[in-house]
């Protein structure tokens, strides 16, 4: 029996994705776990894996098509099986070719870098075909879309690099980050101007158009440039968080002497290779969340939503923004598994190749700035969650112990909670339990 393959939600913020390449062809055999296609989301390029076995009978959406989550993109079934003809071509709300986007009008970017304005297609694009969005991709041949990963594009745009003539080293000639970095190393001079005019047929000289006043930075304020796709998503999510979630903050000072001793002992064992303080904190946070599940909950449409699992997200800096890989069921996973899983997911995120499951399902997040000289800070809650923990650097400080004063490594942990569902008492109980676990970390190995 034929099975329809739909566009999955590959991250918590994904509402649509663009099919970059199909890894399988029509008529090709499919096994469970095979990569069907590569998709560009608002955060990263991810692969769609098959959950079924059979033959790829039909591809509904060709490469270069933007597709809404839940739309049918392919059909898998038995070889030679008769399948119904595809429905009428999907509307712009369901799937739209990437080339059509280039002719849709868009609003000019604002000069205020903290604002978030995304371009909305006009209801009748045909009525204004000459207006192009400011972020249309360059092309080396008319009508041909350049294959480039979002990460590589972000790096190129940030450095003013023209990638229209770059030959990519990725699959199918796709331009990846290392191609842009190699180009940057070979061209240390001034940035290349993007979309240079053709030199073969000089066009008549025309007066230079004057940009709208709203897009011009004030005199002496430097340049203004549109946000990348990732940064636009981050801006939208952060504005949503601070304007809809009433934040409440609680801070605890924690003696990390025993954690340092535990890490020094464990890192010599092969199953704990590469263990960091953050891995130990993830496990302690997960156990504290299991004891106080209200802090693991979220507010959604007037309801208190209590997840069945404790899935801890790790806020990770990547070129051009942030990603949040998620350690699933961290409360019941052994510390050694958390070390291995977290290391692998963070490495994939920083390489621009996270797996689809890496970025979804988070119920709580940790933002750790321990690698910097940061004494304390507060973090903004990710929409869809009820709390986030901000962890500072571990610093030696005077600590009262046994009636005397000693010098000990101390960390400050600040919990941001959604005050609609989490009160000060709940936050205080959670931090007290977290402090207890970190000051007696042998409990994390039980």
Residues designated catalytic: 419
Q: d(Cα 383, Cα 418) in Å, to the nearest integer?
A: 10
Q: Is 90 exposed, middle or buried (0-12, 13-18, 19+ CB in 10 A)?
A: middle
CA angle 254, 258, 262 (to 5 degrees): 130
Bridging pattern class, strands 45-49 and 35-40? antiparallel
The contacts of residue 18 (CB under 8 Å, 6+ apart) are 39, 40, 64, 65, 66, 67, 98
Q: Measured between alpha carbons, how far apart are the two ends of the chain, in Å?
A: 48
For residues 41 and 10, the answer to whether their CB atoms sit within 8 Å is yes
The DSSP annotation for 342-391 comes to HHHHHHHHHTT---GGGGS--SEEEEE-TTSS------PPPTT-SEEEEE
Contacts of 367 by beta carbon, 8 Å cutoff, 6+ apart: 315, 379, 388, 389, 390, 391
Q: How far apart are CA 53 and CA 36, in angstroms?
A: 12
Of the candidates 159, 228, 162, 227, the one whose C-alpha atom is nearest the C-alpha of residue 194 is 162
Which residues are bridge partners to 16 per DSSP? 68
The Cα 144–Cα 165 span in angstroms is 12
The candidate with the shortest Cα–Cα distance to 173, out of 200, 140, 206, 198, is 140
Q: Can you tell me the distance from the alpha carbon of 166 to that of 187, in angstroms, rounded to the nearest whole number?
A: 13
Place of tokens 């001034």: 190
Closest to 180 measured CA to CA, from 191, 302, 436, 204: 191
Q: What is the CA radius of gyration of the chain?
A: 25
């Amino acid at each position: 029996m034929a099975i329809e393959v739909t566009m999955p939600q590959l991250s918590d913020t994904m509402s649509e994705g663009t099919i970059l390449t199909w890894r399988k062809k029509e008529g090709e055999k499919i096994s469970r776990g095979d990569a069907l296609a590569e998709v560009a989301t608002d955060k990263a390029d991810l692969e769609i894996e098959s959950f079924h076995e059979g033959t790829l009978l039909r591809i509904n959406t060709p490469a270069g098509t933007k597709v809404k989550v839940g739309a049918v993109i392919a059909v898998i079934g038995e070889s030679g099986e008769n399948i119904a003809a595809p429905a009428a071509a999907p509307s712009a709300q369901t799937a739209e070719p990437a080339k059509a986007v280039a002719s849709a009008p868009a609003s000019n970017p604002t000069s205020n870098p903290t604002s978030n304005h995304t371009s909305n297609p006009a209801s009748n694009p045909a009525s204004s075909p000459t207006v192009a969005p400011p972020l249309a991709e360059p092309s080396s041949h008319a009508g041909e879309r350049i294959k480039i990963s979002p990460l590589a594009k972000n790096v190129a745009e940030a450095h003013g690099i023209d990638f229209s003539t770059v030959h990519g080293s990725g699959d199918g000639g796709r331009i990846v980050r290392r191609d842009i970095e190699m180009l940057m190393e070979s061209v240390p001079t001034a940035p290349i101007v993007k979309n240079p005019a053709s030199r073969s047929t000089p066009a008549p000289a025309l007066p230079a158009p004057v940009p709208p006043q709203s897009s011009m930075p004030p005199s002496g304020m430097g340049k203004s440039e549109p946000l990348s796709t990732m940064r636009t998503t981050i801006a939208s999510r952060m504005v949503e968080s601070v304007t809809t979630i009433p934040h409440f903050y609680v801070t605890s000072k924690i003696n990390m002497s025993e954690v340092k001793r535990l890490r020094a002992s464990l890192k010599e064992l092969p199953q704990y290779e590469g263990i960091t303080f953050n891995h130990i904190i993830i496990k302690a946070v997960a156990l504290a969340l299991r004891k106080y599940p209200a802090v693991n909950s979220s507010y959604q449409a007037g309801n208190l939503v209590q997840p069945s699992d404790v899935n801890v997200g790790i806020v990770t800096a990547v070129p051009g923004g942030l990603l949040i890989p998620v350690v699933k069921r961290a409360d019941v996973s052994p510390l050694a598994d958390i070390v291995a899983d977290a290391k692998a997911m963070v490495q994939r995120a920083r390489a621009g190749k996270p797996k689809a499951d890496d970025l979804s399902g988070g119920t709580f997040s940790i933002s750790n700035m321990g690698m910097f000289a940061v004494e304390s800070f507060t973090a903004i809650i990710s929409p869809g969650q009820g709390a986030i923990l901000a962890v500072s650097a571990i610093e030696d400080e005077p600590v009262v112990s046994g009636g005397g004063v000693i010098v000990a490594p101390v960390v400050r942990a600040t919990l941001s909670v959604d005050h609609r569902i989490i009160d000060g008492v709940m936050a205080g109980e959670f931090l007290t339990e977290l402090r207890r676990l970190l000051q007696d970390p042998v409990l994390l190995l039980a």
